[in-house]
Every structure is written in structure tokens, then in C-alpha cells.
Amino acid sequence: MATEKTPPPLPGGGLAPRGPLAGHLAKAAMLALSAGIAAWAAWPLYEARNWIGLGLVAAVTGLVWWVYLSERRVPAKYLLPGLLLLTAFQVVPVVYTVATSATNHGDGHRGTKEEAIARIEASSVTRTADGREFALTIAAEGDSPSGELVFLLAGEDGEVYAGDAEGLTPLPGARTGPTGRVLDADGYTPLTAAQANGRGAEVSGLAVPTGDGAGIRAQGLSAAYEGRAARVYDDGCDCITDSETGTVYTADDERGVFAADGGERLSQGWRVGVGADNYARIAADPGIASAFLSILGWNTAFAAGTTLGVFVLGLAVALALHTPDRLRGRTLYRLLLVLPYAMPAFAMMLLWRDMFNADFGLVNRVLGTDTDWLGGTGTARAVALTVNIWLGFPYMFLICTGALQAIPRELVQAARLDGAGARQAFRHVTLPLLMVAVAPVLIATFAFNFNNFNAIWLTTEGGPFPPDSPTAGSTDLLITYTYRLAFGGQGAEYGYAAAVSVLIFLIVTLISYAGLRKSASLEEVNR
């Protein structure tokens, strides 16, 4: 980054003292710290032979030193710490999401083709008639419980083996317990039940090959048996043959699945690029397209309604308190009005939800009604808006109070002296000046509420759901709808959810950009 406004060089060039000793010491300490962190991060990467990771650590550390050792690049010195974190935890995830939106990533399409094949073969292992049985100890290679997964197997004949994806190795020195299970063995760390559970997917995915298509699989966490894979992959035809039924499943590299001639697919597939298919699906499927549009409509109304609601309510109370004559109880009003802002929002959302509960909610008891507030589209939407306005208006009240106080009183007085009524003075003097200050906040409020996941998830959970659309509820925002697609219930579809996210991103950015253009804050940037 080239600076145009660096300080003029001091006379004496590089030899002149450039600051007190403390500054130099602080700088030296920071650079030493960055080197320390780099070494700390590099060691396990080196142990894992992760050269890409090591390269990254070296590059980032190099960048830090390059920026801070130089006398120039002053703005970069101030921006770098925040920018590094921003890049790692915001930019990279966004880029990753955009990349995911062009794949079929989701349940059944997570890993590579090799992993899919291994999993299909392993899960088709059934116990053979003469298959051996073993007492199983799940362990990790090395001294750490996070090492490579290994099965320590004790056979009925007393033979002990270590088994991994490569095969069996005899383990003569292992100690076995009264149940016949291996207690410990040199070079391995037995896992506790909790640790083993935590790596459950690995445990059930591991099949120790014993030759001739047979393998050993875990049955639970303490037993294992030898069996034969019913489904076997053949490189030659790029297909999987089921030896029991004789069905041949051929790999479809475009869709990432093994499919039989009849169209039947194996549930385990792999991740492939699908180009713009996810986007095309939103546009092409009439069910999805109409759900998307109706959600978008309510979503916009929710964000706009919240913004308008908090602004009107916040401004109204700010105006009521903004008077030259001291209002009685002014400080108390102020304190009570900001209380909702100080309460923990997530808890208050859950609490409002319970207050509107049809069976034992407070609202029904106070009003003496029997309304199923969250059960009807109209009432549920009203509840969502009410709760959100309750949460948001104190902030807007604070903003408006500050903005009103910043407007010079002389301006209003001058207008009044020129013959403007109170209302006219407000409309033509106070309001425009107020908007200059408040407009950016309003835009931020809109953008925030457009994606206000908690406000819906913790109150209505997107419901009520019309009988004909179990996935798109009538208070769903695009983001809660996407969340359900990505993580909820059966069949997570990250690829598709990522595509919807990218669309949401474009929509919010466009709306906010249109708003920003009208606000004065743009000029700030160009100053």
C-alpha cells in the first residue's frame, strides 16, 4: 500500500532517533511475539507434514515482518491485525461458501470418490460363516488420543493384533484384561468410551482388510468380526458389483453417484462440481421458486417493518423527551426505556415466545383470550414484528436522542422566527438534519434484520407451516429457510443452501447499496 501522506523524512535520515526507547522496545516485543506464535503454529504442522499449512504460516509471518520492519507502509501497520483476522474468519468462509454453491455437497456427497468407495465397501461387509470374532479395543497410534485410529484385536485363540486400513500386524507384547480385551500396548493410546464415541464415524468406517475381499469391522465399541464385503469396486469398469444381487452400479462422475441401469442409486456418493445447477434449481423448480418469492416478500416486509417500527417509536419518545423545559421524571423515563436493550436478547426472545404460548402463555391469560398466536400466519407475523420492535427501539431512541441534541437549537429557532410553525420547522429543518445522522443506522438496521436469524428462530421457528409446504414456514426468513435446508432434519444440502446464501447476499447488498447512495455517508468516503 503506497501512502500519499507519510510524514516528511526527518533530517539526518535513518540515523536520527525516531522515537523514545519504549516504542522500539514495544515493536521488538511484538515482532518477537509474532515469531513465537509462528513457531508454535508451525511445529504441529511440521509433525503432520502439512507443507501447505507451513507455507501459509511462513507467508503470514513474512508479511507481518515486511510491514512492521519498514519505515513506510504506515496505514498497513494499523490495518494488518484486523485484516488478517477478517480474511481468515470472514473472507475465507465466504469464498468457501461461494465455491460450495457450485457443488452437490451435502449428506451422501461429502468426501472424495475414494472415500465413498471405501465406505460403500465397508458398510456392505457381512459376517461370513467361518469369520473370526475379536475382543476390540479402540486405540490411537502414538501418544495422543487424536492419532491415527487403530483396532487392537484379541482373538479367541489369544492372538493379539493391531489392525488399521493397511491390514493386521501381530502385537505379541500387549497386555490383556480379564474380558480378553487389550488394556494397553506399546506405541498405542487406548481411547476412552467418550473419545471413541467422538470418532464414531471413523470407527464404523474402518475395515481392516484380511485379504481375499474379507475384512474386520467393529461391532459396537468392544467387539469386532471378520466378514466379506458384498459390494466390491472394480477399477476396470469404474463400477461396484453387488455379489449377492448381482447388480452393477456404474460411477456417474457428473452427479457423484453410483447408479444401476434401472436408475437405482447407492446412497453414498461423492462431492462433484455441478456448475450453476443449484442456481438453476431455484429458478426452474416452480415449488422452490414460489416458496423463495413468497419468503422474499415477507422477509423484505419484516426488515422494512422492523426498521420503520423502531425508527418511529424511537424517534417519538426521543422527541417527547427533547424539550427545553425539563420534563418531570426525565431520567427515570430514559433509564426504563433503554431497559429492553440491556436485557439479554436471546433470552427475551424465548420469553416472548412463551408469553404468546397458546396454552399457558401470559398474553392469553392477561387478555382473557384463547388465541393461538403462533399458529396463524397473520398473528405469528405480528408477534415476530412486535418482539423485534421491542428489542430494537431503545437503540434507535438513543441514536435519535443523540442526533437531536447535536442539531443546533439556533437553527430551529431561526426557522420559527421566520414564521414557520412547529410542525413546519420539524419537517423542513429538524427531520432532514436528523436523517443525515440516522440514515446510515437505518440502512444497517435494515440489513441486519434482513438476516436476523435469532429473531425468527427463537420465537416462531419459521412456523406456522402450511400443510402443503413443510419446509417453508409463513414467518420464515430466507436465512432460516436456508438454515433448515443446510442443517435441519433429513438430507442436508449444503451446496443448495450455499447457493441460496449467495442470492441472499446479492439481494441485501443491492438494497443496501441503493440506500447508501441516497445517504450522505457516501461523501464521507470520498473526502
Which residues, 213 to 272, sit near another protein by CB under 8 A?
A: none
Cβ neighbours of residue 93 under 8 Å, at least 6 residues apart?
A: none
Q: Which is nearer to another protein, 328 or 467 (CB)?
A: 328
Q: Which of 346, 369, 466, 514 binds another protein (CB under 8 A)?
A: 346
Residues 400-459 that bind another protein (CB under 8 A): 401-403, 405-409, 413, 416-417, 433, 436-438, 440-441, 444, 447, 451, 453-454
Q: Cell 446510515 appears where?
A: 440
C-alpha cell at 204: 464404523
Asked whether the beta carbons of 100 and 496 are under 8 A apart, the reply is no
- Is 16 exposed, middle or buried, given 0-12, 13-18 or 19+ CB atoms closer than 10 A? exposed
| Cell reading at 151 | 483396532
User: Rounded to an integer, what distance in angstroms lies between the CA atom of residue 373 and that of residue 389?
Assistant: 17
Q: Residues 338, 344, 346, CA angle at the centre, nearest 5°? A: 125
Report DSSP letters for 364-385, one per residue.
HHHHT----GGGSHHHHHHHHH
Q: Does 357 bind another protein (CB under 8 A)?
A: yes
Task: Determine, following the binding rule CB under 8 A, whether residue 341 of this chain makes contact with another protein.
Answer: yes
Which one of 70, 126, 128, 146 is in contact with another protein (CB under 8 A)?
146
In contact, 446 and 512? CB cutoff 8 Å: yes
Q: Which stretch binds another protein (CB under 8 A): 148-156, 287-295, 296-304, 333-341?
A: 333-341
Q: Verify binding: residue 150, another protein, rule CB under 8 A.
A: no
Out of 344, 378, 467, 491, point to the residue binding another protein (CB under 8 A): 344
Minimal CA–CA distance to 444: which of 349, 336, 516? 516
> For residues 278-297, which are near another protein according to CB under 8 A?
none
Peptide bond into 93 cis (omega under 30): no
Q: Which of 194, 212, 411, 211 is nearest to 203 (CA)?
A: 194
| Start-end of H helices in 322-361 | 330-342, 345-355
Note the helical H segments in 356-459: 362-367, 377-406, 409-417, 422-425, 431-450, 453-457
Cα–Cα distance, 522 to 251 (Å, whole number):
54
Q: Of 66 and 96, which has the nearer Cβ to another protein? A: 96
Q: Where are the alpha helices (DSSP H) in 87-190?
A: 92-100, 113-123
Residue from 25, 289, 343, 514 in contact with another protein (CB under 8 A): 343
210 binds another protein per the rule CB under 8 A: no
Nearer to another protein, 268 or 451 (CB): 451
Select from 31, 63, 74, 288 the one that contacts another protein (CB under 8 A). Answer: 74
Paired strand residues for 184: 175
Q: What is the largest CA-CA distance in the chain?
A: 107
User: Nearer Cβ to another protein, position 296 or 433?
Assistant: 433
And the C-alpha cell for 246?
Answer: 448381482
Pick 129 or 525: Cβ nearer another protein: 525
Pick from 326, 418, 419, 468: which binds another protein (CB under 8 A)? 326
7 binds another protein (CB under 8 A): yes
| 48 touches another protein (CB under 8 A) | yes
Selected binder of another protein within 34, 54, 68, 97 (CB under 8 A): 97
Among 56, 230, 296, 338, binds another protein (CB under 8 A): 338
Q: Which stretch binds another protein (CB under 8 A): 164-172, 176-184, 253-261, 322-330?
A: 322-330
Contacts of residue 98, defined as CB under 8 A and 6 or more positions apart, other chains included, come to 498, 502
Least separation in angstroms between CB 124 and another protein: 27
Is residue 327 part of the contact set for another protein (CB under 8 A)? Answer: yes
Among 91, 183, 284, 301, binds another protein (CB under 8 A): 91
Beta strands (DSSP E) in 64-213 are 125-127, 133-141, 149-155, 160-164, 167-170, 175-176, 182-184, 188-190, 207-211
Which stretch, 201-209, 232-240, 361-369, 375-383, contacts another protein (CB under 8 A)?
361-369
Stretch that binds another protein, among 149-157, 208-216, 358-366, 460-468 (CB under 8 A): 358-366
**Minimum gap (Å) between residue 504 Cβ and another protein:** 5
Side by side, which strands form the sheet with 248-252? Answer: 231-234, 239-242, 248-252, 257-259
* Site size toward another protein, by CB under 8 A: 120
Backbone angles phi, psi at 174, to 5 degrees: -75, 150
The residues facing 234 across adjacent strands are 239
CA 379 distance to own-chain centroid = 30
User: With CB under 8 A as the contact rule, which of the stretches 18-26, 124-132, 264-272, 368-376 interacts with another protein?
Assistant: 18-26
Could you say whether residue 371 binds another protein (CB under 8 A)?
no
Q: Under the criterion CB under 8 A, does residue 86 sit at the interface with another protein?
A: yes
Cβ neighbours, 10 Å, residue 153: 27
In this complex, which beta carbon is closest to another protein, that of residue 51 or of residue 169? 51
Kindly identify the residues of this chain, within the stretch 376-395, that bind another protein according to CB under 8 A. Answer: 390, 393-394
Given candidates 44, 62, 421, 432, which one binds another protein under the rule CB under 8 A? 44
- Residue 253 C-beta: closest distance to another protein, Å: 23
**In the complex, least distance from residue 269 CB atom to another protein, rounded to whole angstroms:** 18
Among 83, 223, 289, 301, binds another protein (CB under 8 A): 83
Under the binding rule (CB under 8 A), the answer on residue 41 touching another protein is: yes
Write out the three cell numbers for 38.
509462528
Q: What's the min distance (Å) between Cβ of 245 and another protein?
A: 36
Binders in 466-505 for another protein, by CB under 8 A:
478-479, 482-483, 486, 494, 497-498, 501, 504-505
